[in-house]
Amino acid sequence: MFDKVLVANRGEIAVRVMRACEELGIDTVAVYSEADKDSGHVRYADEAYNVGPARAADSYLDHEAVIDAAKKADADAIHPGYGFLAENAEFAGKVEETEGVTWVGPSADAMEQLGEKTHARKTMRDAEVPIVPGTTDPVEDPEEVAAFGDEHGYPVAIKAEGGGGGRGMKVVRGPDEADDQLESAKREGEAYFDNDNVYLERYLENPRHIEVQIVADHHGNVRHLGERDCSLQRRHQKVIEEGPSPALNDELREEIAEAARRGADAAGYTNAGTFEFLVEEDENREDGELLGPDANFYFLEVNTRIQVEHTVTEELTDIDIVKSQLRVAAGEELDFSQDEVELEGHSMEFRINAENAADDFAPATGGTLVTYDPPGGIGVRLDDALRQGDDLVTDYDSMIAKLIVHGADREECIARSKRALAEYDIEGIPTIVPFHRLMLQDDAFVSGTHTTKYLDHTLDPERIAEAQEKWGTETDSAAGDDEEVVEREFTVEVNGKRFEVDLEERGAAAIPAGNAGGASGGQKPRPAGGESGDDSASAADAEGQTVTAEMQGTILDVKVAEGDEVSSGDVVCVLEAMKMENDVVADRGGTVTQVAVGEGDSVDMGDVLIVIE
Ligand code: MV4
Which CATH number covers residue 28?
3.40.50.20
| Smallest CA separation from ligand 1 atom 5, residue | 203
Q: Do 587 and 454 share a structural domain?
A: no
- Residue 296 burial (CB < 10 Å; 0-12/13-18/19+)? middle
Over the Cα atoms of the chain, what is R_g?
Answer: 25
Q: Bridge partners of 502?
A: 489
Whether pLDDT at 42 is above 90: yes
Short-list 138, 91, 87, CA closest to 113: 87
Please tell me the predicted confidence (pLDDT) of residue 350.
98
Percentage of the chain lying above the pLDDT 90 cut: 80
Q: Is residue 514 part of a domain?
A: no
Query: Which of 132, 145, 169 has most ligand 1 atoms within 8 Å of its beta carbon, as the pocket-test mutant?
Result: 169
Q: To 10 degrees, what angle do helices 250-266 and 117-126 make?
A: 110
Distance CA 167, CA 236 (A): 9
Residue nearest to atom 12 of ligand 1 (CA): 166
47: Cβ–Cβ under 8 A, 6 or more apart, which residues? Answer: 27, 28, 29, 30, 73
Q: Provide the residue type at 178 as one letter.
A: A
How far away, in angstroms, is 475 Cα from ligand 1 center?
Answer: 36
From residue 437, give the alpha-carbon distance in Å to each of 25, 161, 245, 362, 383: 39, 38, 20, 18, 19
For residues 230 and 212, state if they share a domain: yes
Asked whether residue 123 is assigned to any structural domain, the reply reads no
440 and 550 in one domain?
no
Q: Hey, whose CA ends up nearest to atom 14 of ligand 1? A: 203
Atom of ligand 1 nearest to the CA of 165: 9
Q: Residue 361 has what DSSP assignment?
A: T
Whether residue 249 is predicted with pLDDT greater than 50 in this model: the reply is yes
The residue nearest atom 23 of ligand 1, judged by CA position, is: 452
Is residue 84 assigned to a domain?
yes
Distance 296 CA to ligand 1 centre (A): 15
Domain contains 27: yes
Nearest-atom number in ligand 1 for the CA of 231 is 22
Q: Same structural domain for residues 223 and 181? A: no
Question: Which residues does residue 210 pair with via DSSP β-bridges, in sequence order?
Answer: 229, 277
- Residue 560: inside a domain: yes
Decide: 435 and 467 in contact? Cβ < 8 Å: yes
478: left (phi over 0), alpha (psi -120 to 50) or beta: alpha
Ligand 1 centroid vs 593 CA: distance in angstroms? Answer: 38
88 in a structural domain: yes
Distance from the CA of 193 to the center of ligand 1, in angstroms? Answer: 18
CA pair distance 200, 184, nearest whole angstrom: 14
What's the rounded Cα separation, in Å, for the pair 524 and 222? 49
Do 265 and 411 have their domain in common?
Answer: yes
Give a three-class secondary structure readout of 540-591: CCCCCEEEECCCCEEEEEECCCCCCEECCCCEEEEEEECCEEEEEECCCCEE
Provide the whole-model pTM. Answer: 0.81
How much is the pLDDT for 12? 98
At residue 509 the predicted structure's pLDDT band, cuts being 50, 70 and 90, is low
pLDDT 10s digits, 152-161 = 999 999 999 9
pLDDT tens digit sequence for 300-353:
999 999 999 999 999 999 999 999 999 999 999 999 999 999 999 999 999 999
pLDDT of residue 520: 37
Helix (H, G, I), strand (E, B) or coil at 359: helix
CB 452 within 8 A of CB 231: yes
Q: What is the pLDDT of residue 286?
A: 85
| The CA-based dihedral angle spanning residues 502, 507, 513, 518, taken in that order and rounded to the nearest 10 degrees | 0
Whether residue 311 is found in the same domain as residue 391: yes
In the chain, % of residues over pLDDT 70: 92
- Report, as an integer, the average pLDDT of 430-450: 97
Please return the burial class of 19, using the count of CB atoms within 10 Å of its CB with bins 0-12, 13-18 and 19+.
Answer: middle
Q: Which of 169, 202, 235 is the last residue of a domain?
A: 202
166 Cα–ligand 1 center, Å: 7
CATH number of the domain that residue 326 is part of: 3.30.470.20
Looking at 446, 471, 496, the residue that finishes a domain is 471
Q: Of 159, 204, 235, 305, which is best to mutate to test ligand 1, by the most ligand atoms within 8 angstroms of its C-beta?
A: 204
What average pLDDT is seen over the chain?
91
Same domain as 298, residue 283? yes
- 297 CA → ligand 1 middle, Å: 13
Q: Which ligand 1 atom is the nearest neighbour of the CA of 166?
A: 7
| Number of folded domains that form the chain | 4
Degrees, nearest 5: CA angle 181-186-187: 95
Q: In testing the pocket of ligand 1, which one of 201, 451, 452, 458 has its CB within 8 Å of the most ligand atoms? A: 452
Closest atom of ligand 1 to CA, residue 203:
4
Q: Any residues with Cβ below 6 Å from ligand 1, and which? A: 132, 157, 164-166, 169, 201-204, 207, 209, 233, 236, 278, 300-301, 452
Based on the fold, state whether residues 315 and 447 are members of the same structural domain: yes
Same domain, 386 and 256: yes
Q: In the prediction, which pLDDT does 476 show? A: 40
Containing domain of residue 183, as a range?
A: 133-202
Q: Is residue 195 located within the same domain as residue 53?
A: no
Residue 149 belongs to domain with CATH number: 3.30.1490.20
The verdict on residue 225 lying in a domain is yes
Question: Are residues 172 and 88 both part of a single domain?
Answer: no
Q: In this structure, what DSSP letter does residue 511 have?
A: -
Measured in Å, residue 276 CA sits from the centre of ligand 1 at 10
13 contacts 44 by C-beta, under 8 angstroms: no
**CATH code (residue 572):** 2.40.50.100
DSSP secondary structure letter of residue 358: G
Query: Which residue's CA is the closest to the ligand 1 atom numbered 7?
Result: 166
SS3 109: helix
Which CB contacts under 8 angstroms, 24+ apart, belong to 80-83?
80/8, 80/9, 80/104, 80/105, 80/305, 81/7, 81/8, 81/9, 81/13, 81/14, 81/16, 81/17, 81/305, 81/306, 82/9, 82/13, 82/305, 82/306, 82/307, 82/308, 83/9, 83/13, 83/397
Please report which helix (H) or strand (E) contains residue 470, including its range.
helix 461-471
Cis peptide before 374 (omega within 30 of 0): no
Distance, in Å, from the CA atom of 537 to the CA atom of 559, rounded to the nearest integer, reads 19
Centroid of ligand 1 to alpha carbon of 414 (angstroms): 27
User: Which phi and psi (to 5°) does residue 303 adopt?
Assistant: -95, 115
Secondary structure class of 37 (helix, strand, coil): coil
Where is the domain boundary, 173, 202, 231? 202
The verdict on 235 and 284 lying in the same domain is yes
137: confidence class by pLDDT, cuts 50, 70, 90: very high
Q: Where are the alpha helices (DSSP H) in 83-196?
A: 89-96, 108-115, 117-126, 142-152, 178-193
Looking at residues 26-44, what average pLDDT do you find? 97
Q: Whose CA is closest to atom 21 on ligand 1?
A: 209
- Band (pLDDT 50/70/90 cuts) for residue 482 is low
Is residue 109 in a domain? Answer: no
Q: How far is the CA of 29 from the centre of ligand 1 (A)?
A: 37
